[in-house]
Copies of this chain bind each other. A is one copy, B any other.
Amino acid sequence: MDKKIALLGMGTVGSGVVNLLRENEDLIHSSSGVRFTITHILVSDMVKTRTADVSGIRVTDDITEIENADIDLAVEVMGGIDSTKDIINKFLKRGIPVVTANKDMLAVHIDELEETASENSAALYYEAAVAGGIPIIHTLQHSLNANRISKVMGILNGTTNYILSKMTFDGWDYNDALKDAQAIGYAEADPTADVEGIDAARKTLLLARLAFNKKFTLDQVNLNGITNVDIKDIKLAESAGLTLKLLGVAEDLEDKYNLSVEPIFVDTKHQLANVHYEKNAVFVNGNMIGEAMFYGPGAGSYETASAVVSDMINSAVITAKAKNIPEEKGEPATELPDSAYYLRFNGSLSEAESYLSSQDIQFEVISTKESALKTLKISADALQKIQNTLAPAAVYKINGAE
**A interface vs B, CB < 8 Å?**
1, 20, 23-24, 27-28, 30-33, 127, 133-135, 138-139, 142-148, 213, 269, 271, 274, 286-297, 300, 302-303, 305-307, 309-310, 312-314, 316-321, 323-324
B-chain residues with CB within 8 Å of residue A314 when the two chains form the complex = 142, 145
A32 to B27, CA, bound (A): 32
The answer to whether A295 and B297 touch across the interface, beta carbons within 8 angstroms, is no
Closest 9 CB pairs of A and B: A135-B143, A292-B296, A146-B309, A288-B306, A293-B295, A133-B289, A319-B319, A289-B306, A317-B321
Q: Taking A20-B146, A138-B143 as given, write out 18 further A-B residue pairs in contact, using a Cβ cutoff of 8 Å, ordered by the A residue number.
A: A24-B146, A28-B146, A31-B324, A33-B324, A133-B289, A134-B292, A135-B142, A135-B144, A139-B143, A142-B310, A142-B318, A145-B314, A274-B274, A289-B296, A293-B293, A318-B318, A318-B321, A319-B320
B-chain residues with CB within 8 Å of residue A127 when the two chains form the complex = 143
A23 to B324, CA, bound (A): 20
The answer to whether B31 and A313 touch across the interface, beta carbons within 8 angstroms, is no
The answer to whether B274 and A303 touch across the interface, beta carbons within 8 angstroms, is no
Question: Among the listed B269, B274, B290, B310, which residue makes an inter-chain contact with A146, where contact means beta carbons less than 8 Å apart?
Answer: B310
- Shortest CB distance A332–B (Å): 21
B-chain residues with CB within 8 Å of residue A297 when the two chains form the complex = 289-292
A124 to B320, CA, bound (A): 17
- Shortest CB distance A267–B (Å): 12
B-chain residues with CB within 8 Å of residue A295 when the two chains form the complex = 271, 292-295
Q: What are 23 A-B interface contacts by the 8 Å CB criterion?
A: A1-B321, A24-B146, A24-B147, A24-B148, A28-B145, A30-B324, A31-B323, A32-B321, A133-B289, A133-B292, A135-B139, A135-B144, A142-B314, A142-B318, A144-B306, A145-B313, A146-B306, A146-B312, A147-B306, A288-B305, A288-B306, A289-B302, A290-B297
B-chain residues with CB within 8 Å of residue A318 when the two chains form the complex = 142, 318-321
- Shortest CB distance A322–B (Å): 9
- Shortest CB distance A258–B (Å): 20
B-chain residues with CB within 8 Å of residue A316 when the two chains form the complex = 321
User: Quick one: closest B residue to A308, CB to CB?
Assistant: B146
A310 to B146, CA, bound (A): 6
Question: Among the listed B287, B288, B321, which residue makes an inter-chain contact with A33, where contact means beta carbons less than 8 Å apart?
Answer: B321
User: Quick one: closest B residue to A274, CB to CB?
Assistant: B274
Given known contacts A295-B294, A318-B318, A24 and B135 CB-to-CB distance under 8 angstroms: no
B-chain residues with CB within 8 Å of residue A24 when the two chains form the complex = 146-148, 287-288
Interface centre among A1, A302, A306, A324 (most CB of B within 10 A): A306
User: Quick one: closest B residue to A146, CB to CB?
Assistant: B309
User: Quick one: closest B residue to A301, CB to CB?
Assistant: B288
The answer to whether A142 and B138 touch across the interface, beta carbons within 8 angstroms, is yes
B-chain residues with CB within 8 Å of residue A145 when the two chains form the complex = 28, 31-32, 310, 313-314
A348 to B24, CA, bound (A): 52
The answer to whether A288 and B317 touch across the interface, beta carbons within 8 angstroms, is no
Given known contacts A32-B323, A146-B28, A324-B31, A290 and B303 CB-to-CB distance under 8 angstroms: yes
B-chain residues with CB within 8 Å of residue A1 when the two chains form the complex = 321
B-chain residues with CB within 8 Å of residue A142 when the two chains form the complex = 135, 138, 142, 310, 313-314, 318
The answer to whether A20 and B288 touch across the interface, beta carbons within 8 angstroms, is yes
B-chain residues with CB within 8 Å of residue A294 when the two chains form the complex = 292-295
A297 to B285, CA, bound (A): 11
A27 to B306, CA, bound (A): 31
A312 to B145, CA, bound (A): 10
The answer to whether B135 and A305 touch across the interface, beta carbons within 8 angstroms, is no
- Shortest CB distance A385–B (Å): 37
A287 to B195, CA, bound (A): 30
